[in-house]
Structure 1
Amino acid sequence: MLTYTAIRSHETALVRRFFLAAGLLTLLLLADDAFMLHEEVLPHGLGIRERYVKVGYLAIAAAFGLGFFKVLIRKNFSLLALAASFFAASLLFDNPEALQAVGLWENDFVLYVAEDGSKFTGIILWLTYLVKSAVENLNRLMRG
């Protein structure tokens, strides 16, 4: 969101909205992870099943991806694809019943490490993508 503020009068509306939306999406995911919204608060506090919350997050991510497709594929696409792959792996590992039902994981500790490791790697790659994109945009604007 800092990049949005810095470029708001120097960039196209699409790029400005991209950085604002990316900041808000990142803030939502940060709040979810910090307060365990999809695992505890929403299912137990409000009665919203975890799978519906996950589908909601996937819908938000899909809307973000479709809405900013042109911006997303311009630069650093390999970082973005890697981040998305690790987030997808995290979602897969976050469903232990399905994995254990087909005999893929018997050890809960390994499953926990795989899920959190995938999520952490996805977070680092997503933040790297955003920082690299922001720096490239700001450098281009500073050069003229």
Structure 2
Amino acid sequence: ESAAILFPFLTGLLSLVLGLDDCFQFHEEIGPVFGLPQDATLGAYAIAAVAVFWVYRAFVARTDLVLLAMAAAGFGASIFLDVLEPLRHSGAGYLLEDGAKFFGIAAWSLYLGDTALRICLRQTAQTT
């Protein structure tokens, strides 16, 4: 099944791009230099993620949706906290936002690891 190869590849690629963006702040620092507004960059990331999950929705339905929901909740909370103006420049705001982001990253990593393990076990069962 091609989804067992392409879904992990594409979600891994998405993870790499998002990780590099978080590290180097492309959406805030580099994109605007080239005329790309922050919202356009973040929107492109969101569209890419939705597209991957839409195309592979049948495959995703057979994965651990609880871990996926936990990752989405963590990332969603991080984005929500990032746009709250009163918290933006406070120590508590940074702690809450980064804590939510860390939770999202941990759950996302567990989701991808669990999905990869299930693919390997399925492939092994088919060959034996």
| TM-score where L is the length of structure 2 | 0.88
Contact 2:88-2:94 within 8 A present in 1 as well: no
Whether 2:20 is the aligned partner of 1:38: answer no
Q: Please point out which of 83, 95, 110 is paired with 2:83.
A: 95
Count of residue pairs the alignment pairs up: 126
Q: Whole-Å Cα distance in 1 between the matches of residues 88 and 3 of structure 2?
A: 47
5+ residue gaps, structure 1, are 1-11
Deviations, residues 36-93 of structure 1 (Å, cap 9, x unaligned)? 11122212x2232212221121111111121111111212110001101111111111
Tell me the amino acid that sits aligned with residue 124 of structure 1. A
Deviations, residues 89-143 of structure 1 (Å, cap 9, x unaligned)? 111111133xx3xxxx486211111111111111111111011111111122223
Q: Whole-Å Cα distance in 2 between the matches of residues 60 and 106 of structure 1?
A: 27
* Residue equivalent to 2:12: 23
Where do 4+ consecutive residues of structure 1 move more than 4 Å?
A: none
* Residue equivalent to 2:56: 68
**In percent, how many aligned pairs have the same letter?**
33
Tell me the amino acid that sits aligned with residue 56 of structure 1. A
* Residue equivalent to 1:131: 113
State the secondary structure of the residue aligned to 1:64. helix
Report the alpha carbon displacement of residue 15 of structure 1 after superposing the two structures with TM. 2.1
Q: Whole-Å Cα distance in 1 between the matches of residues 56 and 38 of structure 2?
A: 27
Contact 2:64-2:111 within 8 A present in 1 as well: yes
* Residue equivalent to 1:8: none
Q: Whole-Å Cα distance in 2 between the matches of residues 139 and 31 of structure 1?
A: 31
